[in-house]
Amino acid sequence: MASTSFFCCAKGFNWREKGKKQPPWRIFSLKELHSATNNFNYDNKLGEGGFGSVYWGQLWDGSQIAVKRLKVWSNKAEMEFAIEVEILARVRHKNLLSLRGYCAEGQERLIVYDYMPNLSLLSHLHGHHSTESLLNWERRMNIAIGSAEGTVYLHHATPHIIHRDIKASNVLLDSDFQARVADFGFAKFIPDGATHVTTRVKGTLGYLAPEYAMLGKASESCDVYSFGILLLELVSGKKPVEKLSTTVKRTITEWALPLARDGKFDEIADSTLNRDFVEEELKRVVLIGLVCAQSQPEKRPTMLEVVELLKGISKEKLVAIENDDMFKSMPNCNGSSGEDDSSDHISSEKELKKEIEKVQADQ
């Protein structure tokens, strides 16, 4: 069933109509991918996610690829594979990871991408590369703007595409540290005219908009929320949810908002930057991150507005954000996580998990 939709999608996109002789991707044979990845050798493994493992490989022409191999075949996984291939085949943008091709033989499902030599943003912020401090301020600003532009492209595609899993491991970095947003397997098309679609909750804890986590309402503004968390993570080097003790967890917004209210932006900056950042830009990114990651979706900006704000084009809008009530200092706030905010954020992962399970059980 699902495979029917997959093959339909591959055939359904008419490249001749678009004035192209052939699609920019092709079908790979399993044999070719075995040989490119040294039989999916452990040493070639780049990482592992929900879908399966990702391997580095090299084709006969010398070009480098990343191959994502489905772990366990199931109807659900097949559906995700089909969605990812369908969406990737449609989208082309400098800040989106494009498809090189796919392989579907027997129960093997593999997706082939361009290899991104600087891996994911996650690996630089919290993983293998974090000690190397390769992300200077200029690179961080470019990554913020590039990933926002890639997301704008998805939101303005026809039909609109919401990503639903924007996070640091899904922002890959090319040889120039330009951002490429990856993993559209969770993406959802929004029919024209619809404001949101109700769906089973997918995505990653810490990045989920509350209305999506609790009510399953997916819309572009859910991506805006996740993007806000990503911005705060990018400038601070902190994880979206921090474990303070075995029972207490604090979200990045609970930590950053009181500091922003007190104007202590330099305390939010990643210490590995060694204070080498543009103060005005840092303040801008923090304010935008927090305004994106607020609980009320109608108050969040659109991704297009986010791009303009990040680029410093919308000076008046930024002043309006700065003067918003959410950034007014609270009496008795003490710079801690501010009780008044607790309703704005789902502060415990457990709480969020419970809410998600409740929503899934209801559907």
Ligand X SMILES: Nc1ncnc2c1ncn2[C@@H]1O[C@H](COP(=O)(O)OP(=O)(O)OP(=O)(O)O)[C@@H](O)[C@H]1O
Binding pattern for the stretch 239-268 against Mg ion, x by CB under 5 A and - elsewhere: ------------------------------
Q: Is the peptide bond before 159 cis (omega within 30 degrees of 0)?
A: yes
The distance of closest approach from Cβ of residue 146 to ligand X in the complex, given in angstroms and rounded to an integer, is 15
- The answer to whether the annotation marks 68 as part of a ligand binding site is yes
| By the rule CB under 5 A, 226 interacts with Mg ion | no
Alpha-carbon distance of 273 to 125, in angstroms, equals: 11
Q: What residues numbered 178-207 form the site for Mg ion, per CB under 5 A?
A: 183
User: How far is 350 from 292, CA to CA, in rounded Å?
Assistant: 23
Is 28 a binding residue for ligand X by CB under 6 A? The answer is no
Which residues, numbered 33-92, are part of the site for Mg ion (CB under 5 A)? 49
**Binding pattern for the stretch 186-225 against ligand X, x by CB under 6 A and - elsewhere:** ------------------x---------------------
- Nearer Cβ to Mg ion (127/338): 127
Residue 260's closest CA among 341, 322, 180?
Answer: 322
CB 305 within 8 A of CB 238: no
Residue 162 or 182: the one with the smaller Cβ distance to ligand X is 182
To the nearest whole angstrom, how small is the minimum distance from the Cβ of residue 158 to ligand X?
Answer: 25
Shortest gap between Cβ of 128 and ligand X (angstroms)? Answer: 9
Out of 145, 161, 172, 231, point to the residue binding ligand X (CB under 6 A): 172
Strands (E), 147-236: 160-162, 171-173, 179-181, 188-190, 197-198, 217-218
Under the binding rule (CB under 5 A), the answer on residue 123 touching Mg ion is: no
Neighbouring C-beta atoms of residue 81, cutoff 10 Å: 24
- Binding flag, residue 37, ligand X (CB under 6 A): no
Cα–Cα–Cα angle for 184, 188, 191, rounded to 5 degrees:
140
**37, 44, 95, 123: which one binds ligand X (CB under 6 A):** 123
- In whole angstroms, the minimum distance from the beta carbon of 246 to Mg ion comes to 29
Could you tell which of ligand X, Mg ion, none binds residue 37, using a CB distance below 5 to 8 A set by kind? Answer: none
Catalytic residue among 165, 183, 270, 341: 165
CA atoms within 13 A on the CB side of 278: 11
- Minimum Å distance from CB 191 to ligand X? 25
Q: Is 273 in the site for ligand X (CB under 6 A)?
A: no
- Active site includes 165? yes
List, in order, residues 6 or more apart from 16 with CB less than 8 Å away: none
In the bound complex, what is the minimum distance in angstroms from residue 68's beta carbon to Mg ion?
8
Give the pair of three-digit tokens for residue 358: 């409740």
Q: Which residues contact 340 (CB under 8 A, 6 or more apart)?
A: 330
The smaller minimum CB distance to ligand X, of residues 84 and 305, is found at 84
Query: Alpha helix (H) ranges present in 67-209?
Result: 75-90, 121-125, 137-155
Q: Is 92 exposed, middle or buried (0-12, 13-18, 19+ CB in 10 A)?
A: exposed
The tokens for 97 are 């990871």
State the Cα–Cα distance between residues 242 and 169, nearest whole angstrom: 17
Residue 118's binding partner among ligand X, Mg ion, none (Cβ under 5 to 8 angstroms by kind) is: none
Q: Does 120 bind ligand X (CB under 6 A)?
A: yes
Nearer residue to ligand X within complex by CB, 66 or 77: 66
Q: Give the CA angle between residues 115, 85, 30 to the nearest 5°.
A: 65
Contact status: 239 vs ligand X (CB under 6 A): no
Query: Counting contacts by CB under 6 A, is residue 59 touching ligand X?
Result: no
The site that binds ligand X (CB under 6 A) totals a number of residues, namely 24
Per-position DSSP letters for 221-269, written without gaps between them: HHHHHHHHHHHHHHHH---SEEESSSS-EEEHHHHHHHHHHTT-GGGTS
Interacting residues with ligand X (CB under 6 A): 46-51, 54, 66, 68, 97, 113, 115-116, 119-120, 122-123, 165, 169-170, 172, 182-183, 204
Interacting residues with Mg ion (CB under 5 A): 49, 170, 183
- Residues classed as catalytic: 165
Residues annotated as binding site for ATP? 68
